[in-house]
Structures are given as C-alpha cells and as structure tokens.
Amino acid sequence: MRPAGLERPPSPRTSPAAGERDDAGDDSDAALIERSLRHPEVFSGLFDRHADEIHAYAARRLGPDEVAVADDVTAETFLVAFKKRKRYDATRADARPWLYGIASRLIAGHRRTEVRRLRALARQAPEPDDGFEERSAERVSAQRLRPRLAAALAALSAAERNLLLLVAWAELSYEDAAAALGIPIGTVRSRLSRTRTKIRRFLEEA
C-alpha cells in the first residue's frame, strides 16, 4: 500500500500527435520510458508500477521511524529517473535495477540515519526463549542473531552494504545488481565474497 502523501512526480501533459503510434503491444518498462520521451506524462506509469516496491526497500533500510525520509527517497528516485530517462539503456526491459540503483545512492546520502538504526538494533537484547513448544529452534536462533547481524551491517562500508542488501533484500540477480550500481559483474562477485566473509568473521567474534 502506498503511504499517504506519496504521490507521482509531476510531469507536463502533452497529447500524442495525430496518427502517432505508442509502440502498442510492448508493455515493458523500457518501452514506457521510450514513449515518455515523446509524451512525458506516460512516465507516471513507471511510478505506478514500482513506487511501492522502492518505498518498501527504502523503509526497510532506514527503519520504521523514518517513513518520511523513505517517502522523500522514493519521490526523489523517480524525479531523478525522470530527468535521466534519455540515458536509460533501452535494451534492459525491466527498469527495477535502474531504480534500485538510484534509490541506493540516495539512501547512501542518509548513511548516518541508516547506521544509527542498525546500531540501535545491535544494542537490543535478543528475545528470550519463552519455552513455547511451537517456537522452533531456527526461529530462536534467528532472533539471537539479529542484533549481531545489525552490528555487522553497520560496520560495512556504504558500497558493501548497498550491494549486499540489493541482493539479499531487493533480491536482484548479480547481473541486475551490477547494472544498478554501474559496476562490472566480476566486481559484484568479488565484493560480495569479501563482504560475506567480513560478516561471517564479525559474527564469529561477537
């Protein structure tokens, strides 16, 4: 559900020229973006498709107490995308990686907010085992791990955290994460490997 107050970015309205076709039949993000170069109002369709997902990602990273910041990040993501749409790689049908990349860079601008939240989570005591039989050992273990994992995430650089969470939380493929961040796929693999090793060592030493 879209948060109250989060609206489409404004765009000027134009009318299609008489007889002009809008690439009927191609419903991809790339086709929508291409059409928006002629008819800017069409770009609002990209917002309708992906705003909720981008907002959920921003809110998860910034925390439930920073909904207004997540709103701003989401709105700014689509405003930046609108301004840069002429440079969009039309060979990529799905615009989600592009949008996630923009959002990640904007979230990095709120690094202090994100790290502060992670450190606050790290200070939380794990939920005690209440002995209920329906609580599985896996669930209890996950609860005990959460503060340490938050501390490990806080210790990462912004670049490491962006890549890891695009793969782990946004569920982007390595190829899509590379496109989102504008880095080679080989860099994605090596950086992820180093980041996961760093987290594993942090958790083992905690």
Provide the CATH number for the domain around residue 162.
1.10.10.10
| Stretch (H or E) spanning 139 | helix 137-155
Please say which residue of 109, 128, 146 terminates a domain: 109
Helix pair angle (158-168, 96-108), 10° resolution: 140
| Domain annotation covers residue 12 | no
| Domain annotation covers residue 51 | yes
- Do residue 40 and residue 98 come from a single domain? yes
| Domain annotation covers residue 91 | yes
Give the pLDDT confidence of 127-147 residue by residue, as tens digits.
Answer: 554 443 333 333 334 344 477
- Do residue 104 and residue 166 come from a single domain? no
| Domain annotation covers residue 47 | yes
Gap between the Cα atoms of 134 and 32, Å rounded: 49
In 3D space, the residue among 67, 31, 70 whose CA is nearest the CA of residue 54 turns out to be 70
- Do residue 100 and residue 39 come from a single domain? yes
- Do residue 101 and residue 160 come from a single domain? no
- Do residue 169 and residue 105 come from a single domain? no
How many folded domains does the chain comprise? 2
Read off the CATH number of the domain in which 71 is found: 1.10.1740.10
**The token pair that represents 156 in the structure block:** 């990462």
| Domain annotation covers residue 94 | yes
The predicted pLDDT at position 81 comes to: 98
Please say which residue of 42, 77, 109 terminates a domain: 109
Residue 65 sits in which domain range?
28-109
The predicted pLDDT at position 15 comes to: 41
* Per-position DSSP letters for 64-133, written without gaps between them: GGGHHHHHHHHHHHHHHHHHTGGG--TT-S--HHHHHHHHHHHHHTTHHHHHHHHHHHHTSPPPPP---T
| Domain annotation covers residue 102 | yes
Please say which residue of 51, 76, 109 terminates a domain: 109
pLDDT greater than 70 at residue 158:
yes
Provide the mean pLDDT of the chain: 81
- Do residue 33 and residue 99 come from a single domain? yes
Give the pLDDT confidence of 178-191 residue by residue, as tens digits.
Answer: 999 999 999 999 99
pTM of the prediction? 0.76
Gap between the Cα atoms of 96 and 190, Å rounded: 23
pLDDT greater than 90 at residue 82:
yes
| Domain annotation covers residue 13 | no
Gap between the Cα atoms of 199 and 22, Å rounded: 49
Residue 101 near residue 54, CB atoms below 8 Å: no
Burial string for 29-44 (b: 16+ CB within 10 Å, else e) reads: bbbbbbbbeebbebbb
Gap between the Cα atoms of 33 and 72, Å rounded: 22
- Do residue 36 and residue 91 come from a single domain? yes
| Domain annotation covers residue 136 | no
Within 10 A of 79 (CB to CB), how many other CB atoms are there? Answer: 15
